[in-house]
Structure 1
Amino acid sequence: MSSLFSSFKGTAQSLTAIRRPWREFFDITAVDIPSSSSDATTRIAQNLTHFRLNYTIILLVVLFLSLTYHPLALVTFFVVLLAWFFLYLARDRDEPVVIFGFLIDDWIVLAALVGLTVAGLILTGVWTNVLVAVAVAAGLVTLHAVLRSTDDLVMDDLESPYGPMLAGGDEELDSPRGDYSGI
């Protein structure tokens, strides 16, 4: 039981570490129209990487709001979310999944969780609500990702897919593809 709580605590701490401050997320001064479609694509990739947990929280809030008038569906999806968390997201990938004494492969766990999610959608009858909520959340996320300038994000975000190419300067970059010069 203590390993379960330590796993939960470790996962919560790692998720908290990657969440960006909401003040940075909602920075009005960083709103700017992209100059081209390639600029918009670059912004989407960088913002999705930089604000991934913030966007996930927005998706979950919109999904929760869409299910508030369906308490059975809300409880069902809370149970499914717990199953996803403990069987897939929070566990160490090196540890095998053992259910009732049987060793279960990762792909079987993933397929079972997807099946459980789809079954929950169909059996509670809220699949249209969920699809609309996900579409609305995806639209909000895309709109923010396109309009949020990434000029202030590139230098401090080492996980950005374009960070090493756009970093500039004469510092050494450890990249599997070699050194990049500034653009």
Structure 2
Amino acid sequence: MSSATETLSNFKEATLSILSTRHPWSEFLSFSTLSLPSSFSEATTRVGINLTRFLFNYTFIFLFILLISLVYHPLAIVLLLIAFAGWYFLFFSRDSDEPLSLFNVVAVDDRVVVVALVVFSLFVVWVSGVWVNVVVSVLVAAGIVCLHGALKRTDVGGLDDYESPYGPMLATDTAGPYAPV
């Protein structure tokens, strides 16, 4: 199989995987499933569970906020799309157990790829002069994600199937050593 065919196949598989984990916006935006958490630990547990469950929705919200903040900077949008493509093709779309191979000759360590991509992404943000827009977009998106994640109840819509990100430490159905905490 040629390299281009493999790339297209990997792209198709990744896209189908992402689309299979998305949840309908009606479920995501349902006001009937919103309530205030009773404690800070419940809020953080809700955020962790909802982040796992609605990752596609949260990612879409983040990218939409970033796009809106860059609407008057078309060069920045093009450069960031190139950076996102680099992240996707060099890091996210490949199998994690096989090393990246440049021109099928030299195997490159994951750390080298990540450092190069981070440096390139920061360079793109610096050259285009939109670092303030990006930082504000990230902060606004993080605030929206945390607020929605904390308010979205996890006892409805099949959310009980997800484990607490804290493991048995905060589980309510076991009487482990941390139960009184």
Q: TM range, normalised to the smaller chain?
A: 0.7 to 0.9
Q: 1:136 aligns with which of 137, 140, 153?
A: 140
Contact 2:164-2:171 at 8 Å conserved across structures: no
Counterpart residue type for residue 137 of structure 1: A
Normalising by structure 1, report the TM-score.
0.85
Find 2:127's aligned residue among 112, 118, 123: 123
Map residues 24-173 of structure 1 onto 2, 5 A cutoff: 24-100=27-103, 101-152=105-156, 153-157=158-162, 161=165
- Residues 102-161 of structure 1 show CA distances to partners (whole Å, capped at 9, x for unaligned) of 22111100110000111011111000000001111111111101111111143344x653
CA contact (8 A) 1:155 1:163 kept: no
Secondary structure at 1:155 match in 2: helix
Structure 1: tracts of 5 or more residues without a match: 169-179
- For normalisation by structure 2, the TM-score amounts to 0.85
Aligned-residue sequence identity (percent) comes to 44
- In structure 2, distance between residues paired with 1:166 and 1:155: 12
Separation of aligned partners in 1, 2:85 and 2:151: 34
2:49–2:165 Cα contact (<8 Å) kept: yes
Name stretches of at least 5 consecutive residues in structure 2 with no aligned partner: none
Question: Does the 8 A contact of 1:7 with 1:90 survive in 2?
Answer: yes
Aligned residues: 171
CA distances 1:6-53 after superposition (whole Å, capped 9, x unpaired): 000000011111111111111110010111212212111111111122
CA contact (8 A) 2:100 2:109 kept: yes
In structure 2, what is the Cα distance between the partners aligned to 1:93 and 1:46? Answer: 24
Q: Is the 8 A contact 2:45 2:164 kept in 1?
A: no
2: distance between equivalents of 1:128 and 1:68?
A: 14
User: What whole-Å deviation, never above 9, does each CA across 1:45-102 have from its counterpart, x for those lacking one?
Assistant: 1111111221111111111111111000000000000000000000112222122432
The one-letter amino acid paired with 1:8 is F
Residue 13 of structure 1 aligns to a residue whose secondary structure is: helix
Matched residue SS, 2:62: helix
Alpha-carbon RMSD across the aligned residues, in angstroms, is: 2.2
> Structure 1 residue runs of 4+, over 6 Å off?
162-165
Q: Partners in 1 of 2:78 and 2:172 — Cα distance? A: 46
